[in-house]
Structure 1
């Protein structure tokens, strides 16, 4: 009963609120998912909304983009939301940050999401999303962080990812991706974190990685990569974590030994 009274009081306060631009409701006791989304949808001037860690269940509200056209930041992470990603959310034309990680979402990423032209951060990690990595990500010119780890994405990485000139964090770990690591990623010169572990990538570790001079963390562990390590890895002066474990690299080959020794002398944490 006490939880219901608190919830009614909360919803009453929300209804009385006008002109609100930022709303953060985290760890709300006994939330009612449908009613909460209904109340929030009435706040047409909202620019920032955080409803993470509330145990919310059910599908994502498809009409949210219609009712909250000014929204710039949306976080629904760490809930129990399920179902598909709404096609309608492509109308979030002002959205900059979208966080939906740690839910039970499934299916593909809708092509309509190419309409989120100002998106800087997209976090979809730890869901049950599947299908190929969408090529339309390359049409999001402001994208700086793309977090897709812990899903079921499959197929090869699209070469179009190389068009993400501002990307500094690319999380693709724990998926079902395969094939070689595409040379096109060598154009992502702003990359600082590249996590490709626990997939099915094959072939050698590409030399272009040595040209990503801003790289601080590189993880390709638990794949099917092989061959000697590229000499150009020595050029990564900012690299402090290099995880190469559980692959088929020729670690004892002269060039590989030389590269690993140089990295360790630079206090880089190397895992083989």
Structure 2
């Protein structure tokens, strides 16, 4: 396989590395940058003027994204260290989409990245969403409650069957894409999407509803509020599924890389 550009002192992240939404090592230098795509990534320290380029042209970028999609630019964007911040700029033709549906276009000024986790998306051919995960280690004083010697408390994730996870990723894809005002898909929309991506499987509205209801009931019995009609009251609308998807994302049971299930 053709190698990506290396950075002196940087550390490569392999393909299949766990999502950066699950956190990074606690003993890193503040300002350390992690960048990850489905094909791998890199970890680098916060040296002034350092620049990490990402895009389609694997031999000429530090992190390859959208390698087989010609709509993605060969140099799609860059992360540059200036002062106490990492700044993201768009070098390509397509806009980069940040959380909150904010678009960063080629002609826009670079914007600073907040500490912590930031997913970036680029929409390619046939609506394919290419994900680039970024994590910036917080500077001293940015953490509200610093406990240097304490062990990290992992989030409590919920066990899902493969069918449950696939159904929930389809149902909650707008949330995983960090759209500004997301709503769950309807049962009909979810079933139609599942039949498109898994035509060999027998997906119906009732099957999707049954799988999701089982997960809601299981989490409700486990102490998660806002997942039953009795708690929420009428009119229900999308509230129960909205609360379910938010819970699964907040404890990292569902993370943006799970969108890859939509393209398997």
TM-score, structure 2 as length reference: 0.28
Bigger Cα Rg:
1
TM-score, structure 1 as length reference: 0.27
Greater relative CO, 1 or 2 (CA 8 Å, sep 6+): 2
